[in-house]
Amino acid sequence: MPLTIVMYHYVRDLARSRYPLIKGRDIAEFRGQLDHIARHHHVVTTEAVVEAVKGGEPLPANAAWLTFDDGYLEHFTQVFPLLHERGWQGAFFPPVKTVVDRELLDVNMVHFILAAQPDPTPVIAAIKAYVDTRQGDGIAPFEAYWREFAQAGRFDAAEVIFIKRVLQHALPETPRKALCRQLFRSFVSVDPAAFAQELYMSVDQLRMMVRCGMTVGGHGVNHYWLNRLSPAAQEAEVDASRAFLGSLGVAAKDWVMCYPYGAHDDSLRALLARKDCAIGLTTRVAVAEIGVDAPLMLPRLDTNDLPLTP
Ligand SMILES: [Zn+2]
């Protein structure tokens, strides 16, 4: 049975926001998309999806499941009221570090570096200068990174993908984090700790959403590419995600994991199966087929794949 799983990240009043160039769903467009979903789909709950995946009660026709990644404050201020008004449930996936530690993730630093400096040229120049002066210590020549990672993606030019991959995982962790902070400070010019306070929701806000019927699933602690971690490091991420969900009252059985960057591997999925995870959400682009797709590898559609008007 088909299930349209819709994936959202930033949802904000883009034109009147501080960073109008951030890649996100404008709130007016979001309202239009909810109208479209109301007309053409039947919004289902996490509980109903878990039940269907386990072979129980099937989903209604044209089922849609709304998922929101990364724990942004606007999910509380903008999205939650609109879902609540319609009597719909959303599934929210905050990394532990964002809501508990209020720490600005590298992935978000990169988004705002690119929004503050839309021309990638000076950002790439700064990366090159950093890499050139730190040869050795596991840092390869700039050209090697360029050859491997400057490949256009679904929504991004090759230059932008290069910046993202170098700062997400290509460089070793310590210099990568240092470079990310340096670029954030020079192009965005805001204190990362203050920025995180404004970007992410708090645990109390998350708890309120849960009390009002929204659901929460795992999205890791550090928002790492989990397929690039050792099995032991994968287990640490999964256990801490699960402990965090437990603190919110989410049952330890039949929970949902949403893979950061959609990245997973055999070892991670085997681990999740042992830890009673019922569903794994990827970023593979398709309408899910419950009963056909592996439950720990369900595909999603991006909000950009759905119409914005009824
Ligand atoms: Zn994410």
For 96-128, the pLDDT digits (tens) are: 999 999 999 999 999 999 999 989 999 999 999
In whole angstroms, give the CA distance from residue 16 to residue 11: 12
Q: In the structure, what pLDDT confidence band is assigned to residue 135 with cuts at 50, 70 and 90?
A: very high
Q: Measured in angstroms, how far is the CA atom of residue 39 from the centroid of ligand 1?
A: 28
Residue with tokens 């490949």: 151
pLDDT in tens, 186-207: 999 999 999 999 999 999 999 9
Q: Measured in angstroms, how far is the CA atom of residue 282 from the centroid of ligand 1?
A: 10
Q: Measured in angstroms, how far is the CA atom of residue 219 from the centroid of ligand 1?
A: 7
Q: Measured in angstroms, how far is the CA atom of residue 200 from the centroid of ligand 1?
A: 12
* Count of beta carbons in the 10 Å neighbourhood of residue 50: 19
Report the pLDDT value the prediction gives residue 228, as an integer from 0 to 100. 94
Q: Measured in angstroms, how far is the CA atom of residue 69 from the centroid of ligand 1?
A: 5
Cα–chain center distance at 108: 10
Q: Measured in angstroms, how far is the CA atom of residue 222 from the centroid of ligand 1?
A: 10
Does residue 5 carry a pLDDT above 90?
A: yes
Q: Measured in angstroms, how far is the CA atom of residue 132 from the centroid of ligand 1?
A: 30
Report the pLDDT value the prediction gives residue 136, as an integer from 0 to 100. 81
Q: Please, what is the average pLDDT of the chain?
A: 96
What's phi and psi for 17, nearest 5 deg?
-100, 165
Q: Measured in angstroms, how far is the CA atom of residue 259 from the centroid of ligand 1?
A: 7
**What CATH superfamily is the domain 2-102+200-305?**
Glycoside hydrolase/deacetylase (3.20.20.370)
Percent of the chain with pLDDT over 90: 97
In whole angstroms, give the CA distance from residue 120 to residue 10: 21
Please compute the mean of the pLDDT values over residues 127-154 and round it to a whole number: 94
Report the pLDDT value the prediction gives residue 290, as an integer from 0 to 100. 97
Report the pLDDT value the prediction gives residue 150, as an integer from 0 to 100. 97
* Count of beta carbons in the 10 Å neighbourhood of residue 83: 20
Q: Measured in angstroms, how far is the CA atom of residue 56 from the centroid of ligand 1?
A: 29
Identify each DSSP E strand in 9-52 by its residue range.
Answer: 11-12, 25-26, 42-43
Q: Which helix (H) or strand (E) holds 46?
A: helix 46-53
Q: In the structure, what pLDDT confidence band is assigned to residue 137 with cuts at 50, 70 and 90?
A: confident
